[in-house]
Homo-oligomer: A and B are copies of this chain.
Amino acid sequence: MNSIQSLVVIGSGNVATHLAPAFKDAGLDILGIYSRTFKNSKILADKLNANTYESITEIPDSADAYLLAVSDSALTKIVGEMPIVDGILMHTSGSVGLDVFSENIKRAAVFYPLQTFSKEKPLDFSNVPILIESKDKMVFKQLENLGGKISQTVKFIDSKQRKQLHLAAVFASNFSNYMYYIAFDLLKENKLNFELLKPLISETIEKLDTLSPQKAQTGPAIRHDSKTMNAHFEMLNTHPEYQQIYRLISDQIQKLKL
């Protein structure tokens, strides 16, 4: 097997901004960055001492692999515009299948890092699960090797399972973050500091090391404490949308069997 040595990165969003430096640190040669927003690709390329391409047609055909780290909505278009290359084409999306690549692209793959990426926050990939897929056995091995350079957890997962995992991740990360947002907003209105909640938030996830989420559930809803739930509902009367969320989730929690 020839391991992947050189890489072109397409995209300059949250995923590209974290993955490209991680690959460089792992010893790969980042040939260049292409992004629809030239300014953003320039910022990333400058950090990595890499080239920037003004047009997708300028991308060199000599790279071992092409990382398509663009938004799901841009992916189909970018795949269609890519010049014909010998290297591996791999996208990084949880919710897009391997079938976004047409049949005549033989070295097609998915390299999905299961993580939440914000540009402003540095990230250690070592415990980020890298979920890979390819129909080509050699490509699969090359991706396994590539993933292993940045993470301890590299696993095969097919497109159907990856989509399920991505959906679960939306609840576990994006929606739980929105719960933090509501808490933050309510505290701000009452001039209370969000810092006070951080030990609680940490403990809520630490409990998952020893208890299932069902066993770990606490609060007024699981205790069927209608008095407190009604008082909370009343306190939210200037936020009808928070009331809706409060009621819907509390109703669901009350259906859990302990």
Question: Which residues of A line the B interface, CB within 8 A?
Answer: 14, 71-73, 95, 114-118, 120-121, 123, 127-129, 155, 161, 163-165, 167-184, 186-187, 190, 192, 194, 196-208, 210-223, 225, 227-228, 231-232, 235-236, 241-242, 244-246, 248-249, 252-253, 256
Known: A121-B207, A121-B211, A177-B204. 14 other contacts (CB 8 A): A73-B223, A117-B218, A167-B236, A168-B186, A170-B232, A172-B183, A172-B204, A174-B219, A174-B253, A177-B207, A177-B217, A180-B205, A180-B208, A248-B248
Q: Which of B127, B175, B197 contacts A249 (CB 8 A)?
A: B175
A127 closest partner in B (C-beta): B199
Q: How many copies does the complex hold?
A: 2
| Cα distance A162–B33 in the bound complex, in angstroms | 51
Residues in B with CB closer than 8 Å to A182 are: 168, 171
| Cα distance A227–B95 in the bound complex, in angstroms | 10
| Cα distance A222–B183 in the bound complex, in angstroms | 18
Residues in B with CB closer than 8 Å to A71 are: 223, 225
Asked if B181 and A213 make an inter-chain contact with CB atoms under 8 angstroms apart, the answer reads yes
Asked if B201 and A205 make an inter-chain contact with CB atoms under 8 angstroms apart, the answer reads yes
Residues in B with CB closer than 8 Å to A216 are: 116, 118, 121, 177, 180
- Provided the pairs A118-B215, A211-B118 are in contact, do residues A187 and B168 lie with their beta carbons within 8 angstroms? yes
Residues in B with CB closer than 8 Å to A200 are: 114-116, 169, 172-173
Residues in B with CB closer than 8 Å to A95 are: 220, 228, 231-232
Residues in B with CB closer than 8 Å to A246 are: 170-171
Asked if B225 and A72 make an inter-chain contact with CB atoms under 8 angstroms apart, the answer reads yes
Residues in B with CB closer than 8 Å to A235 are: 163-164, 167
| Cα distance A173–B201 in the bound complex, in angstroms | 6
| Cα distance A128–B44 in the bound complex, in angstroms | 41
